Chains A and B, each alone.
Chain A
Amino acid sequence: MNDPRPFRRGPDAVVSGPAKVDVRRMPQVLQRITALALRYPARLVLAITCSLGSAVASLALPRLFGAAVDQAQALLSAGAAHAAEARAALWSTAILVIAASVVRGALTMFSGYLGEYVSQQVAQDLRLKYFQQLQRLSFGFHDRIHSGDLITRGMLDLEGARVFIQNGLMQALTLVMLLSFASYMMLSTDLVMGLIGLAFVPVAGAALGRMGFLLRIAWLRIQELMAILTLTMEENLQGTRLVRAFAAKRFEMAKFDRASIDALNHAYKRIVLRCRGVSTMTVSFYGSMGLLLWYGGHRVVDGTMTVGRVTEFLAYMSLMQTPIRQVAMIFNSAARATSAGGRLFEVMDLDSEITDAPRAVPLKPTKGVLRFENVGFSYGDGARALSNISFEVRPGRTLGIVGSPGSGKSTIANLAPRFYDVSEGAITIDGRDIRDVTLASLRAYVGLVQQEAFLFDSSIGHNIAYADPWAAEAQIVGAARTAQIHDHIAALPAAYETRVGERGVALSGGQRQRMSIARGVAPEPGVMIFDDSAAAIDAVTERRVRDALARATKAKATIIIAHRLSSLMHADEILVLDAGRIVERGTHIGLVALGGVYAGLYEMQTRTATLDERARHPEDA
């Protein structure tokens, strides 16, 4: 609930904002994606060969058509004398046309399939690497970046990088090859005709390439506006009670309209872009064709050219029409890959702030004494969170920590399992600095139950046994009993197999926290830290949880962080934090007698006690 670092954005916030097409980074990003594809050289080369072959087969067709027309023409002029010969020629041309078509189709198919294969292979590699990286990156990173943004990168941006291999890389190669072959064929056959026929290519190519690029940029802008619209709608729906309470329908509709019309106007701009590009293509293509017909036609009239030749050139032109249209797609996907790949690689290239030291050894606790020695901590942006914190917790002992929001309580909780590293001082277990042991062994030993209980979209049993999926049934039930949630679970239709999470049964805030406590105690760590993890549990139930925990974790070192003093007044030592420093410490009785901050809090809490409506009906009793 409380973001530990409100409003802070450090200079090391490497993560960029909304997606942008950074032209300077374009070559670098595209090269990198290409390099990833080149890790599958055999398939890639084969795909390109197929695409080349299909291009050659495509180019054979116009020549064949031209030949057929001329043969027909020859038949006509030669009369019956050479009819048989000409007819045979027609037949062989026809067979060649079928063969060329089949070859072209088959090769197109193979190159399409292989291209998809390689791109999906690259996508899978990226996917796994990205997943791994996110698991590796520290809390410091995850604090800085919104989870939704990370999900978008892993889904849409990754797809953007993948699609480039097919729609950008392969298409561009095919286009270049097709274009050079066609140009060669046309120009070598007849220079003037060739030049006229090819005239539309640079004009249309430039217009379409520009269009593809600009469309992408416009698209990104629209996505931004759509995100605003989505947020507007989502918040309206989530806050529907508030909206109705304030009779704010008109206000909300106006908000919707503003966001909506903004997006609509940008969508219109995209249409203009597209129409401009496509029209340039149409006009230049038909212009070229008209000129070709005029020039070629008059040469036929003059008798310096056969009609078949003209047909051949026309066929070349219509053959090139489709690939030239692809220029838009190629540029679009290159632009997309630049922004998408950039966002993806940015995360992949980060180093985790917290990693195992080179000579880290597994933690082997002997006595199990956790000690904070003059610990100081500042967040990445220099904001001071803790100064001079020293304390010790031994097995069987409980430490309580209390303080106002932002006083550094949660920071202490997150430092012990090394989700962040201390800036000064040291945290030790049995005298060994926790930075010298492996993360896995440390976190297995130090268990943390956070205030926000994240439940996974699966069964209750799986959620409780999350840390140890091999846990025996008895262990799970035991943990649930300790957290006072067993009775509730047992009453559910599918008991421990009941699904929770987004699509599962709804649990109250208190129930979720108890689930999270059960999950925390199930693996039986040596040190337990409860970070305000009972705030939403009603007082009566909380007391039962506390008693059960006391029994279950009797031999463990326990740290309890809470607002509610009743949660920690039984602790062996209580620290009162203010602005990252310990201002008071002692036992409950001692602190109350001191008459300081703690005593003031205690006085206030007994006075502003809450009427507990569930007192007579404790939750799920």
Chain B
Amino acid sequence: MSDFAAETPAAGRPPRATLGSAEGDDVFGTFDPKVARRFLGFLKPHGKAFFCAQVAVLIAAASQVAIPALIGLAATAAVARDGRRLDLALLAFAGLAGVYAIAALLEQWISARLAQRVIFDIRRKMFGHFQDVSLSFMDKTHVGRIMSRLQGDVNTLQDLLESSTGAAGDFAMLIGITVVLLAMDWRLGLLTLTVLPALVVIRAIWLPFSKKSFLAARDASSAANSALAENINGVRTVQETRREAINFELYREKAQENFRAQVGASWMAQIMTPTVDALTGLAMAIVIVMGGDAVLGGRLQVGVMVAFIFYLQRFFEPVRVLSTQYTVMQRAMAAGHRIFEVLDVKVDIQDAPDAIALKDAPATVEFRNVTFGYDPERPVLHDINLTVNPREVVALVGPTGSGKTSIIALARRLYEVDRGQVLVGGHDVRDLTLDSLGQTIGMVLQDPFLFTGTIEENIRYNTQSATAQDVVAAAKAVSAHDFISRLPEGYQTRLGQRGRNVSMGQRQLISFARTLVANPQILILDEATANIDSFTEQAIQRALKVLFAGRSCIVIAHRLATIRDADRIVVLQHGRILEQGPHDELMRNAGLYFQLCASAHASFDDQAMMDDSLHAMRT
């Protein structure tokens, strides 16, 4: 769909070339009372503040409405040459202006703070929810998408919240002005207000067009931006493949399209200005002619006419603001819908109400008749029975997709078994608190994830009791100390995003140290498959021995050295245990394990060449 090769004639442009692509969420939603109600739920804890803000809004609006009336009174008094009445009116004016200033200040102060607070509450709730939702959800949802919920959608709600108090004020003022106009002189008032329906009709006609051009402008801009972003991210490839000129042409097209769309949208937005102004002028003209006539007939005081003119000047601005508010509301609805969608994602794994903390239990893991599948219809583990005894190192071995990863995930209760039981320290994991399970079982992932921050912070992670000495001791134990101390700032060196500035092998070592600091009784380790330079590889092999010492371990092992060191090797295939036992015994069996080992030398399988080199080595 991004391939516009089909739409463009094959002029000078290469047929396949594309640059960037942009797809966004729906912008506009329709009003949904359910979304609105749930949204109001977030306001509940701040009910008092919300109420105060609303009162302030009403007071501010009322005083704003009353001020021109007082000016009118003052004018009438002045015309009547009544100095005392004039002073009284002005005194009232001063008082009212003061009330307005205070109410407006409070309104702004309270509602802006409230908006910020509520937004942070919502974001926190969503973020917290992501800590609990099932891993399967996290596996299949792109982080970028989640972030756009947490940022983009939440910010859209913020727009609504921040502007809604003002909108409420505008609405109150509109009603206030209408009432006052009619009260002052209902005939003139009615006559003047006849322009209002015209404005409403015009805006209703205009709105769909403007929405269309607004969307077009937004799409064009995100297309241009995505092209820019892609070219920056891939700039090395662009230069390697000398695509500069072609990409510049492609980008120019997008930039031009963006220009056209933006200018078009601006035209649509601007066209309402003269319309509103003309209608305002018309209303004024009515006041002048009809009001003037009424003054002549003695039916109207001059001051009332002055007040009318002032009210009209203020009348149309709120109308305009309110109709933009409608768009803000629509966007907030779409965003709110997506936010609640996220909050509604089910949480599968949580502490049972009577969950107990695992303490002083033997470091054992037991699988009893476990069957499990990410999709229950298609199990990846069938009827697994496996016991890991205290201080035993069990290596899981088997072809890709044999279920090794599922076994370690279940041991840590990252997923729930479909049938059977997983027991840690003799307790079903479902009866244990997740916190205590996390403290008992340490996990080293295949792809070591590091956070932005210093190396020390990364090694300590959430073991807050660990001192700086503990951190250094752990690093020393896993042979990470040498390379860390060679870094310019040692343990205080900040790691870039995801540890970009240290090598893969070094990241691995840091993650070992992190686990060692946490000092779990049971260790689950998924050995990295990535090619690590041989120098770091040696350090890793040494570190593994330290990690395994004195712990019960389940290891998904890839390196022959690691496997051979295990007390027991469990060979899996198609989600079942095929064979198990120590290395020598399995080699004698000549089963799957034997075959896997044989292929380990596949990369050096030029037998003749191998023999030659070995020969060369011996001589």
Contacts and interface: CB of A to CB of B under 8 A. Distances in A.
B603 interface: yes
Given A279-B105, A611-B557, A75 B292 contact: yes
A606 B561 contact: no
Bin the interface of chain A by size: 35 or more
B243 interface: yes
B241 A467 contact: yes
A397 B449 CA distance: 40
B342 interface: no
B376 interface: no
Contact of A237 (B130, B402, B412): B130
A1 B400 CA distance: 24
B305 interface: yes
Contacts of A128: 248, 251-252, 255
A298 interface: yes
Contact of B235 (A142, A289, A610): A142
Contacts of B439: 247
Contacts of A231: 452, 497
B445 A72 contact: no
B33 interface: no
B433 to A, nearest CB: 9
A247 B438 contact: yes
Interface string A51-93: 0000000000000010011011101100000010011001101
Contacts of B120: 260-261, 263-264
Interface stretch (A34-42, A168-176, A209-217, A268-276): A268-276
B16 A469 contact: yes
B231 to A, nearest CB: 7
B416 to A, nearest CB: 13
Contacts of B229: 151, 154-155
A612 interface: yes
B146 interface: yes
A613 B596 contact: yes
Interface in A427-461: 440, 443-444, 447-448, 450, 454, 456-459, 461
B461 interface: yes
Contacts of B82: 301
Nearest to B306: A311
A358 B285 CA distance: 72
B113 to A, nearest CB: 6
B399 A588 contact: no
Contacts of A238: 143, 449, 498
Contact of A105 (B79, B274, B291): B274
Contacts of A612: 558, 596, 599-600, 602-603
A494 B79 CA distance: 85
A264 B258 CA distance: 35
Contact of A458 (B3, B15, B612): B3
Contact of B248 (A132, A249, A250): A132
B501 A3 contact: yes
B146 to A, nearest CB: 6
A291 to B, nearest CB: 9
B246 interface: yes
A289 B461 CA distance: 62
Interface string B13-42: 011111111010000000000000000000
B315 interface: no
Interface in A239-281: 239-253, 256-257, 260-261, 263-264, 267-268, 271, 274-275, 278-279
A157 to B, nearest CB: 12
Contacts of A127: 224, 228, 251, 255
A290 B94 contact: yes
Given A234-B147, A256-B124, A405-B503, A135 B248 contact: yes
A458 B2 contact: yes
Contact of A86 (B296, B500, B595): B296
B256 A124 contact: yes
A11 interface: no
B309 A120 contact: no
Nearest to A466: B241
Nearest to B234: A454
A18 interface: no
B263 interface: yes
A2 interface: yes
Interface in B119-157: 120, 123-124, 127-128, 130-132, 135, 138, 143-144, 146-147, 150-151
Interface stretch (A109-117, A195-203, A388-396, A480-488): A109-117
B538 interface: yes
Contacts of A297: 74-75, 77-78, 86, 90
B285 A95 contact: yes
Dominant secondary structure at the B interface: helix
A502 interface: yes
A185 B205 CA distance: 40
A300 interface: yes
Given A241-B135, A610-B529, A268 B113 contact: yes
Contacts of A542: 603
Interface string A606-621: 1111111111110000
B71 A466 contact: no
B278 interface: yes
B363 interface: no
Nearest to B233: A147
A131 B613 contact: no
A450 B412 CA distance: 38
A105 B599 contact: no
A563 B535 CA distance: 10
Contacts of A100: 281
A602 interface: yes
B292 A71 contact: yes
Interface in B318-347: none
Contacts of B438: 244-248
B613 A589 contact: yes
Contacts of B609: 569-570, 588
B616 interface: yes
Interface centre among B288, B398, B601 (most CB of A within 10 A): B288
Given A75-B292, A240-B135, A241-B414, A617 B123 contact: no
A444 B242 contact: yes
Contact of B270 (A6, A104, A113): A113
B531 A279 contact: no
B209 interface: no
Nearest to B309: A65
A245 B438 CA distance: 6
Interface stretch (A326-334, A336-344, A591-599): A591-599
A233 B127 contact: yes
A318 B310 contact: yes
A136 B412 CA distance: 51
Contacts of B77: 297, 301
A39 to B, nearest CB: 15
A587 to B, nearest CB: 10
Contact of A102 (B104, B278, B399, B402): B278
B74 A469 contact: no
Given A71-B292, A605-B534, A307 B493 contact: no
Interface string B221-263: 0001110111111111111111110111001100110110011
B462 to A, nearest CB: 4
Contacts of B616: 589, 592-593
A282 B533 contact: no
A268 B402 CA distance: 55
Interface string A558-588: 0000011010011000000000000000001
A381 to B, nearest CB: 12
A105 B276 contact: yes
Given A105-B275, A131-B228, A278-B105, 15 more contacts: A83-B296, A94-B288, A116-B262, A120-B262, A230-B151, A237-B130, A245-B442, A282-B104, A456-B230, A467-B243, A540-B603, A542-B603, A589-B612, A611-B557, A611-B559
11 contacts: A116-B263, A154-B225, A237-B130, A245-B443, A261-B120, A271-B113, A301-B81, A459-B3, A609-B604, A613-B397, A614-B400
